[in-house]
């Protein structure tokens, strides 16, 4: 099963239109724990129907839940660090757009089927800078559980995920190392092309 094989490569980590809109409404004023648990519930629901939906169906159903639970524009800025200020406004918007599509595509690709997996809340803690870390785990039948630490910061009237640490591996750190290296070595267009290529590859697998 895909979930069993993707632990080390899991991404920074995760109903029709009415259900998606319902998720967006639930995020307003919700606690950090509620944001994480609502998103995890959406993941499980998509997994249960994953094979029937196909990649495109999973992508469509996860687009709003991912966008409404993650601060994707902030994550995009963080992963390229100081390089962000060197980009034009048009380039910044283009990067956020392709990064958003890549984030949704990675969830749609990795969470594609279901065999009894469950998410369990363990605990939460406040950080020194006003954030919250929600500790949880994904229990996989006949395999070791995956430990997830979700780091969230407030954005407006709600909380948003800005990093996911899976079994001690930070998604943000991995992406920052990769993206900044490409930007500095090959330039902006090369970075966009490489991310777009990954999205295309996910849609075919």
Domains of the chain as residue ranges with CATH: 12-204 (3.10.450.710)
Query: ∠121-104-158 over CA atoms, to 5°?
Result: 55
pLDDT at 120: 97
Main-chain phi, psi angles of 11, to 5 degrees? -100, 155
pLDDT at 28: 60
Q: What is the mean pLDDT of each run of 10 residues along the chain (205 residues)?
A: 42 34 56 97 97 96 97 95 94 97 96 95 95 97 95 93 96 92 95 97 89
pLDDT at 19: 35
159 with 153: CB under 8 angstroms? yes
Query: ∠106-152-120 over CA atoms, to 5°?
Result: 70
100 with 79: CB under 8 angstroms? no
pLDDT at 27: 57
Cα dist from 123 to 32, 126, 131, 135, 139, whole Å? 11, 11, 14, 5, 16
pLDDT at 26: 52
Q: What is the pTM of this model?
A: 0.84
């Amino acid at each position: 099963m895909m979930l069993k094989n993707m632990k080390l490569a899991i991404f920074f980590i995760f109903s029709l239109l009415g259900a998606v809109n319902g998720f967006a409404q639930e995020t307003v004023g919700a606690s950090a724990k509620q944001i994480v648990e609502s998103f995890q519930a959406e993941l499980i629901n998509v997994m249960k129907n994953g094979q029937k939906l196909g990649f495109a169906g999973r992508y469509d159903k996860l687009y709003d839940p991912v966008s409404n639970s993650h601060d994707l524009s902030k994550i995009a800025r963080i992963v390229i660090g100081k390089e962000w200020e060197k980009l034009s406004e048009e380039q910044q918007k283009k990067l956020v757009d392709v990064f958003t599509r890549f984030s949704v595509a990675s969830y749609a690709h990795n969470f594609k089927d279901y065999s009894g997996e469950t998410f369990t809340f363990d605990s939460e803690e406040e950080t020194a800078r006003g954030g919250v870390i929600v500790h949880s785990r994904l229990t996989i039948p006949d395999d070791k559980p995956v430990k997830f630490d979700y780091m969230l910061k407030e954005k407006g009237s709600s909380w948003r995920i800005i990093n996911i640490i899976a079994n001690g591996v930070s998604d943000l750190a991995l992406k920052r190392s990769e993206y900044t290296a490409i930007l500095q070595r090959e330039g902006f267009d090369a970075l966009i092309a490489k991310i777009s290529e990954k999205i295309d590859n996910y849609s075919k697998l």
